[in-house]
Amino acid sequence: MSEVRNSEAPVSTVTYNRNEIDKPTENIYEAISVIAKRANQINAEIKKELIEKLEEFATYTDSLEEIFENKEQIEVSKFYEKLPKPHAIAIEEWLNDKIYYRNTEKEG
């Protein structure tokens, strides 16, 4: 998960060179499929970590402490909101050859 936190992926929308995206596979659809699968993995990792962190703040009683815990909960949520989106991280990994993939149809 530290890779996601240290990612240099853009937080806003970026236009990519299609030729750079499909260069490893020579097929834009195959490249997008691999990137999408990696984005789903990243999203699941982020979601799992966020849920674990938020569960630390779970309380089952009403008290004055709850106000402070909610502030901490908000800070954790804000941190995750500022992270680059999973698809941006996946594209960055793809362009930097950090994603391993193979085409089982070509290996026969």
Summarize pLDDT for 61-96 with one digit per residue, the tens: 555 555 555 777 888 888 888 899 999 999 999 999
Report d(CA 7, CA 80) in Å as an integer: 13
- Residue at 105 is within a domain: no
Q: Burial of 7 by CB count in 10 Å (0-12 exposed, 13-18 middle, 19+ buried)?
A: middle
pTM score, whole prediction: 0.80
CA distance 78 to 40: 21
Q: Is residue 106 included in any domain, yes or no?
A: no
The structural domain count of the chain equals 1
Please identify which residue in the block is written with the tokens 């941190």: 79
Query: Could you tell me the two tokens for 9?
Result: 């992926």
Domain residues for 79?
2-95
